[in-house]
Amino acid sequence: MKRALIVTDVQNDFCEGGSLPVDGGARVAADIGTVLRAWAAGGPGAPAYDHVVATKDHHVDPGDHWAREPDYAESWPVHCKVGTDGEAFHPNLDPQPFDAIFLKGEHAAAYSGFEGRTVDGRALADWLKAHDVGAVDVCGIATDYCVRATTLDAVRSGFDTRLLLGLCAGVDPETTAAAVAEMEAAGAHLG
104 is an active site residue:
yes
9 is an active site residue:
yes
146 is an active site residue:
yes
**Which residue among the candidates 104, 139, 144, 168 is catalytic per the annotation?**
104
Distance CA 39, CA 37 (A): 5
CA-based nearest residue to 3, from 164, 159, 122, 153: 159
| Residues whose CB falls within 8 Å of the CB of residue 85, separated by 6 or more in sequence, listed in order | 12
Alpha-carbon distance values, 53 to 41, 46, 107, 116, 131 (Å): 17, 17, 22, 12, 12
**Which residue among the candidates 15, 80, 139, 146 is catalytic per the annotation?**
146
Catalytic residues: 9, 104, 146
